[in-house]
Amino acid sequence: MQRIPEPEELMDAPEQAAAYAGADFSEPNQLFVELIEAQAGAPLRGEALDLGCGPGDIALDLLRRHPELRITALDGAAAMLAHARQRLVQAPELGPRLALRCATLPDADLPAAAFDFVLSNSLLHHLREPAVLWHTLARCARPGAQVLLMDLARPASPAEAEALVQTHAADAPPILQRDFYNSLLAAYTVAEVEAQLAANGLAELSVERVSDRHLAIRGRWGEAA
Ligand SMILES: C[S@@+](CC[C@H](N)C(=O)[O-])C[C@H]1O[C@@H](n2cnc3c(N)ncnc32)[C@H](O)[C@@H]1O
């Protein structure tokens, strides 16, 4: 099936952000946390960058689990970050280790070679130009940084996409079902992501399917394949 880009890059409409922030993504979020812990070995320590953090659930979970981790969590949608700030009100003890930044890639003014972890969930398929993610990664990661970028993987057909919506979001509000369907159509395949990595000098990272609807791009940046 041919890729159909997302109608909008940012999830900045208040009702869209509210539907996303109110949804239960505990299963993929837990998968993300398990993958980075297995890859890096717990406890995680140092500076992490979470690109396209949305309402911040993964960042907050990682901070709770890893007391020596600090996270810069960035999103271009003020509406999404408002939900992250609300969640932080419930967990003020995490505030000193979380920097929430409203900035849109590629225009975010991020420090170079500053992060021990570069993380992202469900951002790649949103970007109009995917190279923006690869350039940000290569600029911001410290040599040897742990990288985990998880995203949806494009199904083979619209019918398969619809079936995934029914399997995982049958009870979700229509706006969320629509966004999930659009995201599946906008997602990349493993082969497409491998080609992007090769074209951007990141062939040391690997790409694999990690669930019926997700792929993960992982490895240590700046290390030979
Ligand atoms: C599907 S959400 C994922 C949110 C979060 N990572 C999660 O797993 O719950 C994608 C997020 O990426 C943000 N985004 C899209 N394009 C962006 C860009 N160019 N710069 C910064 N954020 C962006 C959107 O606003 C949205 O909040």
- Select from 143, 137, 146 the least CA-distant residue to 108: 137
Section 115-142 average pLDDT? 98
Distance from Cα 14 to the centre of ligand 1, integer Å: 14
Residue 121 near ligand 1, beta carbon < 6 Å: yes
pLDDT tens digits along 7-46: 899 999 999 999 999 999 999 999 999 999 999 997 999 9
How many angstroms separate the alpha carbon of residue 10 from the centre of ligand 1?
Answer: 6
- Token pair, residue 77, equals 């949608």
Query: Could you tell me if 62 and 36 are in contact, meaning their C-beta atoms sit under 8 angstroms apart?
Result: yes
Half-sphere exposure of 225 (CA within 13 A, CB side): 10
Atom of ligand 1 nearest to the CA of 57: 9
8 Å CB contact between 180 and 187: no
Which pLDDT value is given to residue 76?
Answer: 98
Q: Could you tell me if the CB of 184 is within 6 A of ligand 1?
A: no
Ligand 1 geometric centre to CA of 222 (Å): 25
- Closest to 126 in 3D by CA, of 176, 51, 197: 51
Q: 105 CA to middle of ligand 1, Å?
A: 10
Average of per-residue pLDDT values in the chain: 96
pLDDT in tens, 191-207: 999 999 999 999 999 99
Domain boundary assignment for the chain: 14-220
CATH class of 14-220: alpha beta
What whole-number percentage of the chain has pLDDT above 90? 97
Residue 39 CB less than 6 A away from ligand 1: no
